[in-house]
Structure 1
Amino acid sequence: MTVFTMKEYINEAIDEYAEDISFGMPGHKGKDFFDLKINRDLTEFLGTDNLLNPTGAIKNSLEEIARVFGSRYSFYIPNGSSGAINIAVSCLAEKGCKILLQRNCHKSCINSVLINELIPIYIETKYDEESAQFLGIELENLKKTVERERPELCLLVSPNYYGGILNLKEIISYLHKKNIPVIIDEAHGAHLYFSDLKKYSGNFLGADIVINSSHKMIPSLTQTAILHINSEKITRERVLKYINLYTTTSPSYLFIASQEKGISYMEDEGKKSMKILEEEISAWRKKTSFKDSRVKDKSISSYDPMKFLFRLPRKTGSQIVKSFHLAYNIRLEMGDLYYALAIISPKNSIYELKKLFKAIEENSRGEFKEIIKLKFPRPQMEILPSEALKRESLLIDFKNSLGRISAANVSAYPPGIPIVSYGEKITSDVIDSLSYYLANDIEIVGLYDQKIEVVK
C-alpha cells in the first residue's frame, strides 16, 4: 500500500528565513512577546466576549485603545488595514460618489472604490526627479482639484511607505471647511502615537477616520489593524454594521490579544526603546557622515526615523535586498530601482542595528547608479472601475494592448503605484513603463506571464 505524505512547501519556505535579522514587517521581528500557546486559540465563550458585538472584555480593551490613541472610539480589525479601509469607506461613501485619493495609495483603497462603485479622483503626489522619490501633496494643487472635481470624500495615505508624513493639519482643515470627510490610511504610523511625532498623526489632527496596521511597527501578529473613529456623525452602530459585513464570524483571539499586549508594551518599554534606537541612528549618521536619503520638502511635515531608506553604490535596491540576505542574514523590507528600506521597530536591538550599519559601511565604495528621469503614465478613465471589473475580459500580451481598456490594477512593487488601473485606457506610456520595470527586475502585480487583462 502506497502512503502519500503532503509536502509542506509553505513551512519549508518560511524556515529559510527563521535565522535572519529582520528589518522588515511584522513589528515583533520574530521575537517572543506574547503567549501563543494553542490553548489560547479560542472563540466566543462567556467571558471572552464577541468581537462583532463587544460588550465585555473586548469592549473594555477597546476603550483602553481609544484612550491610548486619542480617538472617540476604536475597533480591532483582524483582517488588516485592507479590511479596515473597506469598512471606513463603506461607512462614509454612497454608490457613485466621487472620492479623492492619491495615485500612490495602497491597492486596498482601489478595492474600496470597486466594492462601493465610486468614482476615483486622483490627486497628484509631488515627485522629485533628482532623487526618484514621491513626496507629499501640495495644498494649492489639492484646492484646485477639489474646486474642479467636487469630491464628496477624501482618503489619504500618511505616513507613506518610506516614512513621509503629509501636512495633515492644513489639508484636513481645508477639506473640513468644504464639508469633505477625511479618512487617513495611517497603516505605517501606529507607533507615531508613542513618540514626538504624535502631533502629526491623524487622530491628533481630527481626521474623521484613521486606520493603523498595528503589525507593521508595533509587536502584534501579522494581519492586525485598528480602526479609529473621531467624527460625531459616525455612530458606533454603523461601524459595527460594516465590521460584521466584512469580517469573518470566527475572528482570531490570538490576533486581537497580541494587539492588546503589543500596545500595552508600547506605552512604556516600546516608547523607551524607540527613543534609544532613534538616538543610535542619529549618532551613527554623525559618526559616518552617512546622509539621510530622503528629500526635505514643504509638502512633507516630517519623516519617520524608524523607516531607514538608503542607497548603495553600484546596486539597485532589489540587489541590496538579495545581497544583504545572502551575505549578512539581514532581511530588509523592500528594494526598488535605487533604494532599499529597513523598517526598524522597538523590538530591534542595538546589536542588530549595528549589524545593519556595518553591512552598509562595507558596501559603500564606488559610484551610485544614475537616476533616470521617469515619466509616470497618466491614463484617462474611459469607464467606471466597477464597470471594468464586472465586464467580460481577456488576457493579451501587454505589448499588444495599445488602446484597450484595463480590467485590472497593474502596479510595480515597490512602490505600488498603478501604472494603469481599472477602466483606464492603455497608452504607449503605459506599455513603455511596464517594459522598463520588467527589464529592471521590479515585480509587476497584475500581469500574468506578461499578459494584461483587458475589457473584451
Structure 2
Amino acid sequence: MINKTPLYDGIMEYIKEGNTSFHMPGHKNGRSILRINERADFKNNILYLDQTEIPGLDNLHLPEGIIKEAQELAARAFRSDYTYFLVNGTTCGVYSMILGVTNHGDKIIVPRNSHRAVVGAMIIGGLWPVYYEPDVDLEKGIAVSVSPLKIEEAIRENPEAKAVLVTNPTFYGTCSDIEAIAELVHRNNMVLLVDEAHGAHLPFSRKLPLNAMDAGADCAAQSAHKTLSSFTQSSMLHVRKGRVDVEKIEFMLRLTQTTSPSYILMASLDIARYQMEEYGEELYEELLSTLDVFRERVNTISDIYCFGREIIGQHGIVDFDPTKVTINFKNFGMQGTRIADILRKEYKIQMELSDLYNILAMATIGDEKGDYEKLYDALCDISNKYKSEREIRDIPLIDWKMPYQALSPREAIYEPMEMIDFEMSDGRISAEIIAPYPPGIPVILPGEIITRDIIENIIKTKEAGIKINGPRDQRLDKIAVIK
C-alpha cells in the first residue's frame, strides 16, 4: 500500500481546483498579506517562523519583550487598555473573559443563539444562564440584532447577574446598539462582554459600524483570522480596565491557551495589526466601493436580493457591516444550500455559508474586483437556467416559549443520560441542544425541561424541511435526556 497524506493531499486538491474564495480565512489564500510590500518576505519565511520560547523571542504567558511590545501596539490600534494574542482561537478568549468576570454559580445574561464557546464557558464555570432572544427576520430567515429593551428586561428580572454578553456584529452583519446596552449594563453594576468574532476590522474605517471597545464594552473577543489578514486560529482579546479583574482574566488565558503557542500565528497577528494601522482606511475604501457596485448589480437580477444598509431600523438593527454579503433567494424559490452547491460545482465559487434562503460571502481586503464580477455573472446565469424551479417553503410561524431551566448546563452535562423516543420526551430534562436552522436559535438546551409544545413545534419545523442542528440523532427520532 502506498503511503498517503490524505489531509495535505485533500487541501492541495482544493487549491488546484482554482475556486474563488468567499470564505474564511480573511487573507484569501495570502492575497491580502501580499498587499504589504514591506512584508512580502512573510510568505518565503513561513517555515522559519515556527519557533519557540527561546531567549529573545519572549513568552506569551509571561510577555516581557517582543510579544509584550506587539500586544501593546495592538491595544493602541484597537483602542483597548490591554490586548492579548490568542492562538487557540476566539473560543479561548470567550472562555477567559466569561470565567474572568464570574464565579461558580453566578448568573450571566447571554443571547439564546450564543456561539457554543459561550455554552462551553458556562459548563466549565458552573454558571446559570439567563437567555434573551435576538429578533428574527423571517423574510430573510435570519436571527439579527437585539434591542436594548430586551437587555433591560433581563437585567431587571435578574439584578444579581454578574455580566451581560452580546454577539455583535452577527454573522450576517447586523449590529445592535452597543453604546445603549453598555450604558444599561454599567448603570446596573454589571460587566459588558462582546463576542466580536466577526468585527476585528471595524476600528479601521469610518464607514464601518462602531466597534465594541469604542462603544463602551469591558471585554471583546475578536477572530482576526475571519476578517483581517492573520492565520486561522489567531484571535485577540481586548480588555478595558476598571470593571474587570485583569489579573484573573490573564490567569484564565494561561489556563485555556496552549503552553506551546505558535509563533507563526502570533506573527500573523502582528502583521495584520500593522497592515490595518498603516493602510486600513484606504484598503476598506476600495473594498466598500466594490461592494456597493456589486449590491446594486445583483439587485437588478429578478427575485434575487442582496441586502445592505436599508435594513437599518428594522428588528433592532442600528447599523450594518457591508462586508457581510448575504444574497437572498426566497423569492427566487431555490434553497440557498442548493445555490451554494451549484456555485461550487458549476462555477468554481466557494461561499462561506448557505442556509434555507441565503448564501453569504465574507468580503475582505484580500478580494479583487474580478471575484465579484465572476460571482455576479454566475448569479445571472443561474437566474436564467433555474428560473422555472420553485422548491422553497416558508419558515413556519411558531410561538417558541423559553423552557424552564431545571439544571445548570454543567450539572446537565455531568448527569447520566439515556436516549429515548423524542415524541415521548415530554417532561424530561434535555441533555443536548436542538436548534432549527434557520434561524439558528436553540429551542432546547442542556438542563431544560422538554414540553409537549416544544415537541409538537419541532415536529412542524421538521415537516417544513427546516434543518435541525445539535442532536446526537440527526433525524431526531430519539433525544438524549437526563436518566
Q: TM-score range by the shorter chain?
A: over 0.9
Tell me which residue corresponds to 1:27.
26
Instruction: Give, in whole Å, the separation in 1 of the partners of 2:5 and 2:408.
Output: 42
Identity level (%): 30
Counterpart pick for 1:389 among 392, 413, 418: 413
Q: Is the CA contact (8 Å cut-off) linking 1:53 and 1:240 kept in structure 2?
A: no
Instruction: Give, in whole Å, the separation in 2 of the partners of 1:415 and 1:86.
Output: 25
Equivalent AA in structure 2 for residue 27 of structure 1: G
Instruction: Give, in whole Å, the separation in 1 of the partners of 2:4 and 2:451.
Output: 44
Q: CA deviation at 1:426?
A: 2.4
Written as runs of structure 1 = structure 2, the 5 A alignment for 1:234-253 is 234-253=244-263
Equivalent AA in structure 2 for residue 388 of structure 1: A
TM-score relative to the length of structure 2? 0.87
Of the structure 1 ranges 389-398 and 245-254, higher mean CA displacement relative to structure 2 is found in 389-398
- In structure 2, list runs of 5 or more residues that go unmatched: 34-41
Instruction: Tell whether 2:424 aligns with 1:408.
Output: no
Equivalent AA in structure 1 for residue 24 of structure 2: M
Q: Is the CA contact (8 Å cut-off) linking 1:209 and 1:231 kept in structure 2?
A: no
Q: CA deviation at 1:123?
A: 1.3
Tell me which residue corresponds to 1:421.
445
Q: CA deviation at 1:38?
A: 2.1
SS at match of 1:283: helix
* Distance of aligned partners of 1:198 and 1:86 in 2 relative to their CA distance in 1, 3 Å threshold: same
Of the structure 1 ranges 388-397 and 9-18, higher mean CA displacement relative to structure 2 is found in 9-18
Q: Is the CA contact (8 Å cut-off) linking 2:204 and 2:281 kept in structure 1?
A: yes
Counterpart pick for 1:158 among 155, 168, 174: 168
Equivalent AA in structure 2 for residue 306 of structure 1: T
SS at match of 1:175: helix
- In structure 1, list runs of 5 or more residues that go unmatched: none
* Distance of aligned partners of 1:424 and 1:208 in 2 relative to their CA distance in 1, 3 Å threshold: same
Tell me which residue corresponds to 1:301.
318
Of the structure 1 ranges 113-122 and 130-139, higher mean CA displacement relative to structure 2 is found in 130-139
Written as runs of structure 1 = structure 2, the 5 A alignment for 1:276-425 is 276-287=286-297, 289-290=299-300, 291-293=305-307, 295-297=311-313, 299-312=316-329, 313-364=332-383, 366=387, 369-375=392-398, 376=400, 378-412=402-436, 416-425=440-449
Instruction: Give, in whole Å, the separation in 2 of the partners of 1:139 and 1:164.
Output: 14
Q: Is the CA contact (8 Å cut-off) linking 2:178 and 2:216 kept in structure 1?
A: no
Q: Is the CA contact (8 Å cut-off) linking 1:336 and 1:415 kept in structure 2?
A: no
SS at match of 1:156: strand
Q: Is the CA contact (8 Å cut-off) linking 1:208 and 1:230 kept in structure 2?
A: yes
Q: Is the CA contact (8 Å cut-off) linking 1:172 and 1:205 kept in structure 2?
A: yes
Tell me which residue corresponds to 1:445.
470
SS at match of 1:394: strand
* Distance of aligned partners of 1:334 and 1:430 in 2 relative to their CA distance in 1, 3 Å threshold: farther
Instruction: Give, in whole Å, the separation in 2 of the partners of 1:244 and 1:144.
Output: 35
Equivalent AA in structure 2 for residue 227 of structure 1: L
Q: CA deviation at 1:162?
A: 0.5
Instruction: Give, in whole Å, the separation in 2 of the partners of 1:339 and 1:288.
Output: 14
Instruction: Give, in whole Å, the separation in 1 of the partners of 2:453 and 2:172.
Output: 26
Tell me which residue corresponds to 2:216.
206
Q: Is the CA contact (8 Å cut-off) linking 1:75 and 1:226 kept in structure 2?
A: yes
Instruction: Give, in whole Å, the separation in 2 of the partners of 1:269 and 1:97.
Output: 43
1:97-142 Cα distance to aligned partner (Å, 9 max, x none): 1111111111111111111111111112112333333232222232
Report how many residues are paired. 453
Of the structure 1 ranges 229-238 and 430-439, higher mean CA displacement relative to structure 2 is found in 430-439
TM-score relative to the length of structure 1? 0.92
SS at match of 2:244: coil
Instruction: Give, in whole Å, the separation in 2 of the partners of 1:38 and 1:445.
Output: 38
Counterpart pick for 1:11 among 5, 8, 11: 8
Of the structure 1 ranges 243-252 and 120-129, higher mean CA displacement relative to structure 2 is found in 120-129
Tell me which residue corresponds to 2:227.
217
Instruction: Give, in whole Å, the separation in 1 of the partners of 2:167 and 2:414.
Output: 27
Equivalent AA in structure 1 for residue 317 of structure 2: I
Instruction: Give, in whole Å, the separation in 1 of the partners of 2:272 and 2:438.
Output: 28
SS at match of 1:404: coil
Q: Is the CA contact (8 Å cut-off) linking 1:41 and 1:254 kept in structure 2?
A: yes
Q: Superposition RMSD on alpha carbons, in Å? A: 2.3
1:296-348 Cα distance to aligned partner (Å, 9 max, x none): 33511111101000123231111111111111111101111111111111101
1:255-314 Cα distance to aligned partner (Å, 9 max, x none): 111111122222234442322121122123334544543633351111110100012323
Q: Is the CA contact (8 Å cut-off) linking 2:144 and 2:172 kept in structure 1?
A: no
Of the structure 1 ranges 134-143 and 318-327, higher mean CA displacement relative to structure 2 is found in 134-143
